Amino acid sequence: MPSAPPPDGVLALVNAGAGGTSATVVRSVIAEMGRTCDVELRRTSSLDDLRDALLEGDGRRPVLLGGDGSLHAALQLLHTAGAAREVGPLGIVPLGTGNDLARSLHLPLEPLAAARIAVTGRPRDLELLVDSRGRTTVNTVHAGIGAAATARAEKLKPRLGAAAYPVGAVWAGVRAGAGYPLRVEVDGEVLHDGHRPLLVVGIGLGGTIGGGTRLVPDADPHDGIADVVVSASTGPFARVGFAAGLRSGVHVERQDVRTATGRVVEVTALHGTFRLNSDGEVTDPQQHERFEMLRDAWQVVCPA
């Protein structure tokens, strides 16, 4: 059974400059939520504007109208302010291209159906991944081939939409060089020592990236642990085979892929540097990073 709508109403937040949130869709979503409770729409024009709206909701349920990037930005702002849980459960109406956390949460991808869940669903606790620099990940962070795939996908997205991500992954798999000399430890245990180069390291709270590509297929954002996948599929044919298996998640059955679960993950480049792709945001090059999974760090409104 659905839960009761928020008694103080909803504060709907949309990025004024987001390309995927057309005025027609936003109006329809607001009208749908308005059938159940009072709704105010606020179009945010900057990160400061988004932070202020989230922190000054006056008891109303914040509902984010946008994609993974909007959710990533919101949780980063709330974590930095020490208020990720204090703002109460967040509703999500996925209006982005990938919408990967929404997929992991089994939220409808159809906007009006998601709008109904945002006001009548049930709050559930969610994990949050935080690195040594205080950067947050709400869905998945990966090192290695992911940055190249994301960069390629961004170029293809205007023509291919969500299909740009698996195409970008295959392209990057073919074009990747000898791999990345990365050492990976999970809860202090060595998962990969780095002497054999890796193609990718994935750390998932949610299971998919890029609009449904199942990089970390066993990840569950409610289970209190992070799932880790490392792939040494660096040979030309191995790269193609690994990329081909990503969509369905069967890549984890390969002999050159290992998996683990834990609360703390460390990634170190034995030489050179690597980039991180966190929820679609690519970082500058670095040599080491430590990630800690925080359980029950925030709440989201899920299907009842």
254 and 284 both lie in a single domain: yes
**Beta-carbon count within 10 A of 265 CB:** 25
Q: Residues 177, 202: one domain?
A: yes
Task: Using DSSP, state whether 145 is helix, strand or coil.
Answer: helix
Taking the C-alpha atoms of residue 209 and residue 101, their distance in angstroms, rounded to an integer, is 9
Clarify whether residues 106 and 227 are in a common domain.
no
Average pLDDT rounded to a whole number, residues 269-296: 92
Q: Do residues 61 and 87 touch, judged by C-beta distance below 8 A?
A: no
Mean model confidence pLDDT for the chain: 90
Please indicate, yes or no, if residue 96 is contained in any of the structural domains.
yes
Using 50, 70 and 90 to split pLDDT, how confident is the model at 174? low
The Cα 75–Cα 133 span in angstroms is 15
115 and 157 belong to one structural domain: no
List, for residues 99-111, the tens digit of each pLDDT value.
999 999 999 999 9
Say what the pLDDT of residue 51 is.
96
DSSP output for 103-117: HHTT--SSHHHHHHH
Q: What is the pTM of this model?
A: 0.88
**Domain enclosing residue 16, as ranges:** 10-120
- Domain CATH for 65: 3.40.50.10330
CA 145 to chain centroid, in Å, comes to 17
Of residues 283, 111, 99, the one with CA closest to residue 206: 99
Q: What is the pLDDT of residue 6?
A: 86
pLDDT, one tens digit per residue, over 4-55 is 788 889 999 998 876 555 889 999 999 999 999 999 999 999 999 999 999 9
Please name the residues in contact with 235: beta carbons below 8 A apart, sequence gap of 6 or more: none
Q: Which of 264, 276, 256 is nearest to 209 (CA)?
A: 276
Interior angle at CA 285, CA 182 and CA 78, nearest 5: 105
